[in-house]
Chain A
């Protein structure tokens, strides 16, 4: 069965962002696909990258002095970090909802899972977020170099402890295993040699990358067949020379943006081009979004939305403001994806792992909870506290306290239905249900009409649209994009 043009464009909107409203899709339909894709990739000219920022470098306490801080001061720093990371989550989510260049946020969300990292420090989180938002759609080499030099990553992967006399291999190993080549494509010796090259990479107390010469191993290293007095930048250059890196990254992008089931032929072709372009991410994404196979039925609506995609998509469809925006964290937690708290260095496994009995039933109730202002009656699991000892773990405990407190609270949202209602102003009454389902779903977009009728409130046209919308959003199909 041929896929309708509307569905194809909705598919594009979901993969290159978080879905778009009917009028936007209709406006795309009037243009050539190439032009639409180009716009999606470049973003509107006026869309400069607004940093997601909750703290300034100058707001930081003097960490050198932290040792001598009194209890009160220490608590203040902790509060600053906990609240800061919550705010960062909320602000980034808002940017995903409202940003005129959604692909950039979508890429950042992808990289947030790829370069998975946990740190208690709000500034470090903010810096890393800025790096993946800034470079996530430009050049993978730049992105990798920048990410590898963030205090967040260096701290998380223990490179601060990587010294000539006593190398710590954690950072080198994950850079090879998770960030570039994937397991099985290098040897343990390669890891050891790369770790020696990364010695001395660290950061200072104001959160800036710092090469600490005294810790660096100046000797010769042999890595992936090359020998020299390599430093960290050399290692990254060598890893980028490996075609395997292009393959690994392309396959991961394909699984995220196209289909979890990889088509080898498509990926190989894309990877070749990606490698030849010297890791141009824009060109790669353009290639994908312009490919005919991207619009084949089997690639449409085949992915399970991540919790963040589900929430952002819902809020993008229907503008709303939460009385307490931090409620987003509770939704994220119950469904299994809290921004800045990936489960481990490998990130969220995604796909069907988002779904179990309780998460599915909750996901199907999310639209009702929000749009009918119902209570949370699910107690989220605690987030396991961050590594690091002493008082640091308290921060995560504070987040847990917060999550716990939301139990049995109503989610008060100020919902602005008007723009959504307007999208359907010209739709005849008898076509409303179909139109709504089609605009919200990519798979099985013909939800049984009798059923929608039966559960709708048809006292007014407005109520009818609202209730049908909520019911369509409460389906398994809505979980897919």
Chain B
């Protein structure tokens, strides 16, 4: 019944929307339903440089406690993963996922010649460039370029936000930003814009004027498609009322429909904890943990957990030593979480950070984050990672 109703809604909406669309978009409207079981990647950006050492805690390491006399998380508070590492006490659901075999932790992730500027380092992570290069496109944007030339529906990557991050900007195709499908639909469902699209002459889409009309048409049609899909599933779980909670709910509800989206992008922060880190990180982690707990439960109940992979990252970690204001300053290497029901390799995927071998007080990276991207692109999303990352990176074996 459910499926039939969904299909009905789809056909109904397409019929009415298509009257408004110019010719070159008509092709898009032959609704291709996505086969169930399509893989989904959810990227959670921890903005501001999350302190990785107080996230995955080397709770038996004396150097850690020596360098963080007050900021170090006490041995008995850390949620033990193994003999070396424990997880921040606020990340309860992460520990549960770990016990469940649904969490992977990569330690010491970074890149050569790290940059301590938030904006430059975020640039590097979002574009996947080397630190000496400046690329104007993001890695997920280029994924769209590779996958979605002439795509039926340009909704393969959605950012749950009001504006779009560089990570989702490709040369030819860009992701779409929205906080609320209903609101996006309302905003794009403007009669004047629709009629403009319908009545106004605009030629060649290779020219900018055509490109703008195409973007407008795609936005209007995507908004209608997203809204239509969104209506077909309402979560029964109660998500936290935080911003991240609301965003994860939106993502879950979209995943549970037949929408063709394979990448979701969402930010959480700010983790820029120069001052009073303990409280700030605690609060943000509670929000993260709570939102992810409901999110993963929701997916499991709907038998979609195996198709979804959540990846967290931050533009850098913090310095090993705490500073005088109960915080930490900008550092380098960091850890990444991988969460999902389809992990091949689980738990702590590589050695914890080597605190005995610092470089001017900073952790040294062991895994280039581009290896993670390459793995996700190739093995999870089935894309040409080499073309997207403009270089062949070794694949990891967590999936």
Q: Which residue of B lies closest to A350 (CB)?
A: B136
Chain B neighbourhood of A385, CB < 8 A: 48, 118-119, 272
Min CB gap A161→B, angstroms: 13
B162 surroundings in chain A (CB, below 8 A): 334, 358, 378-381
Query: Do residues B136 and A349 form an inter-chain contact, with CB atoms below 8 A?
Result: yes
With both beta carbons as reference points, the residue of chain A lying nearest to B200 in the complex is identified as A448
Contact residues on B (Cβ < 8 Å of other chain), bracket: 35 or more
Minimum Cβ distance to chain B for residue A402 (Å)? 15
CB of A384, distance to nearest CB on chain B (Å) = 4
17 examples of A-B residue contacts, CB within 8 angstroms: A304-B208, A355-B212, A358-B177, A358-B219, A360-B215, A361-B187, A361-B193, A377-B187, A381-B163, A382-B47, A386-B118, A387-B330, A444-B202, A454-B195, A475-B196, A476-B209, A479-B212
Q: At the interface with chain B, which of A212-220, A239-247, A318-326, A340-348?
A: A340-348
Q: How far is the CA of A349 from the CA of B133 in the complex (A)?
A: 13
Partner of A476 from the list B122, B134, B168, B202 (CB cut-off 8 Å) is: B202
User: Which A residues are within 8 Å of any B CB, using their own CB?
Assistant: 118, 301-304, 334, 336, 343-346, 349, 352-353, 355-361, 364, 377-387, 389-391, 393, 397, 443-444, 446-448, 450-451, 454-455, 471, 474-477, 479-480
Tell whether, in the assembled complex, residue A455 and residue B192 are in contact, meaning their CB atoms are under 8 Å apart: yes
Q: Which residues of A contact B222 (CB under 8 A)?
A: 357
B-side residues, CB < 8 A to A, are 47-48, 115-120, 122-123, 134, 136-137, 161-166, 168-169, 171, 174-179, 183, 187-188, 192-193, 195-196, 199-202, 207-209, 211-213, 215-216, 218-219, 222, 270, 272, 274, 329-330
Give the contacting residue for A451; candidates B183, B187, B199; CB below 8 A: B199
- Report chain A residues within 8 Å CB of B209: 301, 443-444, 476-477, 480
Interface contact B187-A387, CB-CB below 8 Å: no
Q: Closest residue to A301 on the B side, CB-wise?
A: B209
Cβ of B119 and Cβ of A356 under 8 Å apart?
no
Taken together as a complex, chains A and B put the C-alpha atoms of A447 and B201 apart, in Å, by 8
Q: How many angstroms between the C-alpha atoms of A299 and B188 in the bound complex?
A: 31
By the criterion CB–CB under 8 Å, are B200 and A358 in contact?
no
Q: How many A-B residue pairs have CB under 8 A?
A: 148
Cβ contact within 8 Å between B199 and A353:
no
Q: Which residues of B sit under 8 angstroms from A353, Cβ to Cβ?
A: 136-137, 169
User: How far does the alpha carbon of A391 sit from the alpha carbon of B164 in the complex, in Å?
Assistant: 28
The reply to whether A475 and B200 contact each other, CB–CB distance below 8 Å, is yes
In whole Å, how far is A126's beta carbon from the nearest beta carbon of chain B?
Answer: 21
Contact (A444, B200) CB under 8 Å given A356-B215, A471-B192: yes
Q: Report how far A474 CA is from B193 CA in the complex, Å.
A: 8
Roughly how many angstroms separate A378 CA and B186 CA in the complex, as a whole number? 13
Q: Which residue of A lies closest to B191 (CB)?
A: A455
Give the docked Cα–Cα distance between A475 and B330 (Å).
44
Residues of A within 8 A of B176 (CB): 356-358
A386 proximity list for chain B (CB < 8 A): 117-119
Pairwise interchain contact B163-A357, C-beta atoms closer than 8 A: no
Q: Is the CB of B178 within 8 A of A381?
A: no
Chain A residues in 8 Å Cβ range of B213: 476
A380 vs B199: C-alpha distance when bound (angstroms): 32
Given the known A-B contacts A384-B119, A476-B202, are A357 and B195 also in contact in the complex, defined by CB atoms under 8 Å? no
Q: Which residues of A contact B120 (CB under 8 A)?
A: 344, 387
Expressed in whole angstroms, the Cα–Cα distance for A357 and B116 within the complex equals 31
Contact A380 B163 (CB under 8 A): yes
Q: Which residues of B contact A476 (CB under 8 A)?
A: 196, 202, 209, 212-213, 216
CB-based nearest A residue for B203? A444
A12 to B120, CA, bound (A): 36
Instruction: Say yes or no: A387 contacts B116, CB within 8 Å.
Output: yes
Q: Are B216 and A358 in contact (CB under 8 A)?
A: no
Chain A residues with CB under 8 A of B219: 357-358, 360-361
CA distance in complex: A477, B166 (Å): 25
Residues of A within 8 A of B123 (CB): 343-344
Q: A343-B123, A382-B270, A451-B200 are in contact. Are A358 and B163 (CB under 8 A)?
A: yes
Chain A residue numbers with a CB within 8 Å of B165 are: 381
Question: Given A357-B218, A381-B163, are A352 and B211 also a contact pair (CB < 8 Å)?
Answer: yes
B343 to chain A, nearest CB (A): 31
Give A392's nearest chain B residue, CB to CB: B274
A6 to B121, CA, bound (A): 47
CB proximity of A468 to chain B, nearest CB, Å: 12
Q: Supply 16 further A-B pairs (C-beta < 8 A) apart from A358-B163, A379-B162, A444-B202.
A: A302-B207, A304-B208, A344-B119, A345-B134, A352-B208, A356-B164, A356-B215, A358-B219, A359-B163, A360-B216, A361-B216, A387-B119, A389-B116, A450-B199, A477-B212, A480-B212
CB atoms of A389 and B274 under 8 A apart: yes
Q: Chain A's nearest CB lies how many Å from the CB of B290?
A: 22
List, in ascending order, chain A residues with CB within 8 A of B171's CB.
352
User: How far is A350 from B330 in the complex, measured between Cα atoms in Å?
Assistant: 30
- Report which residue of B163, B177, B183 has the largest number of chain A beta carbons within 10 angstroms of its beta carbon: B163
CB closest chain-A residue, reference B328: A389
